[in-house]
Amino acid sequence: MATKKARKKINLAGRDLICTEDWSRDELIHTLELAEDMQKHRFAVKYTKILRDKTFFMFFYNPSVRTRQSFECAATELGGHAQFLEPKSMRLKTATTAGETIEDAAKVMSRYACGLGIRILEDKIGAYGEGDALLREYAKYSDIPIVSMAHDKYHPCQGLADVMGLRKHLGKNLKGRKLLLYWGHGALGRSWCSVQEAALLYSRLGMAVTIASPEGYDLDPEVIKTTRGHCKESGQKFEIIHDPVEGYRGAHVVYSRNWMSPGAYHDGEFHKAEEVEKALKYTDWICDARKMKLSDNGLYIHPMPIDRGHEVTDEVASGPNSIIYDVAENRLHVQKAIMALTMAGK
């Protein structure tokens, strides 16, 4: 754990978490150390009353499995309550309907709850960046912390859960380790949020980053620029390649996930069927045992749900180097730490 002196300097009460770039490296490490202690002492009395009598709102534009489960468990284990909300059951203003504005909704919610999580992904927006803009507008008008539960640009809780898993299996000093962020063909037409968060956070912690994808699957240029800068600052290699095999050589972590192309949005909507049809043609782009043998005994990591047989083979996803279930569990502990640090007050 951080020293007492370091702890006094870190105060995250009331802070939003929309992307890990919003917090300092020391603040992120402090959060991870608390999450690790919360896992070790999961039901210890020192943690079970932190959010006593407090409610955390969970605003789901998109459904989930692990996100809702882990946040509800997190609130309960901290002595609080998580309330599930859906926009379809609320009278909210949209581009085509009258209703309550974000300003009004945020100010009222701030008087009820201790925090607000929002999940809004690719098919609930008409252009890339709209989800991020919505979260930041809620943050502008809210008096309580806004936490991204995954949106079109970033997924900070997932990124921290990933790193918590890497710290367990590779050690707490990740500098010099190589991440292969690998595009996998698939039938889900996924957003960029998880892979962009991984690129930003892993590189910030000193890892080298290789992004491998077919031509035409570039990520957000600003995210690439920032990731490149992190790698340069720590003296690590950053590269983008378009070969389905070469990136595996020497990799310590392989993150294989499908993601959409920059052309996924047009005419004000997300064209999932087109994305899936195009992606399924790249059958060579799958993480399998043959490729993994080129890695440096690499860990396989994925935020789930996994499109098995497309993004990765069962042999790898369920193999001895897969840490997918550790990472899924870590969502609970990381989110407990985030909620405790931002929503418990003093």
Q: Please name each of the domains of the chain with its CATH number.
A: 4-154+331-343 (3.40.50.1370), 157-327 (3.40.50.1370)
Chain segment 246-268, per-residue pLDDT in tens: 999 999 999 999 999 999 999 99
Per-residue pLDDT for 209 more than 90? Answer: yes
Q: pLDDT digit string (tens) for 75-115?
A: 999 999 999 999 888 777 666 666 789 999 999 999 999 99
Q: Is the pLDDT of residue 3 over 50?
A: no
- CA angle at residue 208 from 248 to 169, to 5 degrees? 75
Statement: residue 306 has pLDDT above 90: yes
Residue 138, pLDDT score: 97
Tell me the pLDDT of the chain averaged across its residues. 95
Q: What's the rounded Cα separation, in Å, for the pair 48 and 53?
A: 11
The structure tokens listed for 300 are 């396989």
Q: What is the pLDDT of residues 317-339, one digit of tens each?
A: 999 999 999 999 999 999 999 99
pLDDT one-digit tens code per residue, 39-66: 999 999 999 999 999 999 999 999 998 9
Two structure tokens written together for 106: 């945020």
Q: How far apart are the first and last CA of the chain?
A: 19
How many angstroms separate the Cα of 160 from the Cα of each of 13, 150, 199, 217?
A: 18, 12, 12, 25
Asked whether the beta carbons of 287 and 312 are under 8 A apart, the reply is: yes
Mean pLDDT of 299-304: 97
Q: Is the peptide bond before 320 cis (omega within 30 degrees of 0)?
A: no
pLDDT attached to residue 94: 67
pLDDT score of 8 more than 90? no
Confidence (pLDDT) at 88: 82
With a cut of 50, say whether residue 312 has pLDDT above it: yes
Predicted pLDDT at 52: 97
**Residue 111 pLDDT:** 97
Evaluate if residue 341 carries a pLDDT over 80: yes
Is pLDDT of 12 > 90?
Answer: yes
* Tens-place pLDDT, residues 119-174: 999 999 999 999 999 999 999 999 999 999 999 999 999 999 999 999 999 999 99
